[in-house]
A and B are shown apart, each in its own frame.
Chain A
Amino acid sequence: MTDSTIRESAMSENVIAGDAISVRGVGKTYAASAGPVQALLPTDLEVRPGEFVVLLGPSGCGKTTLLRMLAGLISPTEGTIEIGGKPLFTGRDAKPARDALGSLGFVFQAPNLMPWRKVWRNIALPLEAKGIGRAERKRRAEELAGLVGLEDFLDHYPKQLSGGMQQRVAIARALIHRPSILLMDEPFGALDAMTRDSMNLLLQRLWQETGKTIVLVTHSISEAVFLADRVVLLSQRPGRVQDIVEVDFARPRDLSVAADARFGEMTGQLRKQLGGHA
């Protein structure tokens, strides 16, 4: 099998039409000793199937809170979230529904790789949790490693990889169970500028090839404009949606889009709206 056929078969198996996300009146209030703290005011957001939405804002604006609620890691104090038309939180104890969670992949700020597992076993971890056999796990891990350009590093340990490569492993792991939606929490925040650029290009390619819905959190204005179909601008204390900006640069975008006058205009406008926060 040649490299390109591996990639093609990997692609065809991983192309899953993205699901829609519907956020209605979702808010989060934390109880604190000094009285309740509103992390996020009731928020409405409709993410279309296959759309790339970026949540942009300064720290403390509730963007990570919103994303973690979408992932079922924390429950909202009000409002409803639907994933592909199905409610995410059901029942009285507000436990996240298993099937809705199954269509989500999550990439954390840190790679969160397990240092005692080789790369391929890190990538395959979500399949282990589903009880899928070893041969199948290994095959799928190889596919996904190919998709993120790590096919030569399957038997390495995480500490042998650079930061960017570790985050690629994390992306492969988030995609291995073929989720329709990918949630990303400042995935490239810890990387240097050059690695970050190449990761942005990789992510755009993955998104175009697989057709998933992506919701990505960042505090980088240029990253937001480069990647997004729509930028959701959040402001802080209490967190709320301040504005939603459509970004209509042609796809695929390359790094030279940053030299475009309209790119500068858009980032300048967003920076002004953030009031110098970001």
Chain B
Amino acid sequence: MVSATQAPARPESPSAPRAPRKESGPRWLLWVTTPLIFAAIIGLWKLYTVVSGVSELIMPPPEQVWTALIELLGDEMIYEATYITFYETIVGFGIAVVVGVALGIALGKMRSLERVLSPFLVATQVVPKVAIVPLLLLWFGFGLSSKIFMAAIISFFVMMQNTILGIRSIEAGHRDLMRVIQAPWWKRVISLDIPSSLPAVLTGIELGIVFAITGAIVGEYLGGDEGLGALATVMLAALRTDQLFAVVIIMTVLGFLLYAVVAGIRRFAIPWHESSGRATSL
């Protein structure tokens, strides 16, 4: 039996990482699979257009879309339209982050307030937002404001919900600890509330950016003559299906880039969290 007298305390050997992260394949996996799957999709697409003999107004073959994309990228207006959509998305998203996170903190802290307001907040979500676009156009005009508002209203809810969840999930033990060490209220906010709820808040923000760009583009489809959404409707009216496809590709790339930036911020901001190292899949 060990003598307790002066045996200096030695730590138990550090355990292997608790739950070893599930092996998700080698690093280079995506670099191989992505081009392969992409090529397969293009191949099937081409095959379909050849075999079925479908009109190129309905389904243009891939090489025609490629040509249309190159043509489009040579035109200044596409950059202008992309910038407009980007601007609407970012401003609407920015407003939604501020409102969503602030409301989320307030509602997360005050349960009674949440009970009082929740029917109205849910109401803003169950109203089919596409249906109120005409109203938004009436109020905010055909310019950028109505699209910014659309992007904001469609993306704030998920950020608010996640913030509430984050605030509610702060461990009781951590709260007790802050009380025992007599931390002043601002110290609790900075050292516990914010870092503890950050993973949930950032997940909401990650989802929010996708909703925001959707909102902006839907707004553009339905009114006004600026942005990628409006450009798509113009292409459709002119029966330039190949260019319509090209615009959709540009929208996708823009969405991808915005998402990648936000997801990158998330990983950078919470390196300690279980989730870092992989983005939330949508």
Q: Does B22 contact A (CB under 8 A)?
A: no
Contact in complex: B176, A164 (CB < 8 Å): no
Interface-central residue, A148, A152, A198, by most chain B CB under 10 Å:
A198
Contact in complex: A161, B181 (CB < 8 Å): no
Chain B, interface SS category? loop
Contact in complex: B2, A149 (CB < 8 Å): no
Nearest A residue to B174 via CB reads: A112
Contact in complex: B195, A114 (CB < 8 Å): yes
CA distance A125 to B9 in the complex (A): 23
Contact in complex: B176, A159 (CB < 8 Å): no
Contact in complex: B5, A254 (CB < 8 Å): yes
Q: Does A41 contact B (CB under 8 A)?
A: no
CA distance A184 to B16 in the complex (A): 28
Q: Does B15 contact A (CB under 8 A)?
A: yes
Residues of chain A within 8 A (CB-CB) of B17 are 159-160
Q: Does A90 contact B (CB under 8 A)?
A: no
Contact in complex: A115, B184 (CB < 8 Å): no
Interface mask (A89-119 → B, CB under 8 Å = 1, otherwise 0): 0000000001001101010101010111000
| Residue total for B at the interface (Cβ-Cβ under 8 A) | 36
Contact in complex: B181, A114 (CB < 8 Å): no
Choose one: A112, A128, A177, A255; the contact of B171 (CB below 8 Å): A112
CA distance A169 to B4 in the complex (A): 21
Q: Does A195 contact B (CB under 8 A)?
A: yes
What's the minimum C-beta distance from B184 to chain A, rounded to whole angstroms? 7
Contact in complex: A116, B272 (CB < 8 Å): yes
List the count of A-B residue pairs having beta carbons below 8 Å apart.
101
| Residue total for A at the interface (Cβ-Cβ under 8 A) | 44
Residues of chain B within 8 A (CB-CB) of A159 are 17-18, 272
Interface-central residue, A71, A114, A153, by most chain B CB under 10 Å:
A114
Interface mask (B1-33 → A, CB under 8 Å = 1, otherwise 0): 111110111111111011000000000000000
Residues of chain A within 8 A (CB-CB) of B179 are 72-73
What's the minimum C-beta distance from B189 to chain A, rounded to whole angstroms? 12
Q: Which of A25-33, A199-207, A229-237 is the interface stretch?
A: A199-207
Contact in complex: A98, B180 (CB < 8 Å): no
What's the minimum C-beta distance from A71 to chain B, rounded to whole angstroms? 6
Q: Does A129 contact B (CB under 8 A)?
A: yes
Known A114-B174, A115-B272, A116-B272; judge A164-B12 contact (CB<8 A): yes
CA distance A204 to B12 in the complex (A): 18
Residues of chain A within 8 A (CB-CB) of B9 are 148-149, 168, 198, 201-202, 205
Contact in complex: A112, B173 (CB < 8 Å): yes
Q: Does B187 contact A (CB under 8 A)?
A: yes
Choose one: B4, B13, B181; the contact of A125 (CB below 8 Å): B181
Which A residues from 238 to 271 make CB contacts under 8 A with B? 252-256
Contact in complex: B11, A129 (CB < 8 Å): no
Nearest A residue to B188 via CB reads: A129
Residue numbers of A with Cβ under 8 A of B are: 71-73, 98, 101-102, 104, 106, 108, 110, 112, 114-116, 125-126, 128-129, 148-150, 152-153, 156-157, 159-162, 164-165, 168, 177, 195, 198, 201-202, 204-205, 252-256
Can you report 21 residue pairs joining A to B where beta carbons are below 8 Å apart? A72-B180, A101-B182, A106-B177, A106-B180, A108-B173, A114-B195, A115-B273, A128-B183, A128-B187, A129-B184, A152-B11, A153-B14, A159-B17, A159-B272, A162-B11, A162-B14, A162-B15, A164-B12, A204-B4, A252-B4, A255-B1
Further 4 A-B residue pairs, CB within 8 A, beyond A72-B179, A73-B179, A101-B182 = A72-B180, A73-B176, A112-B174, A161-B15
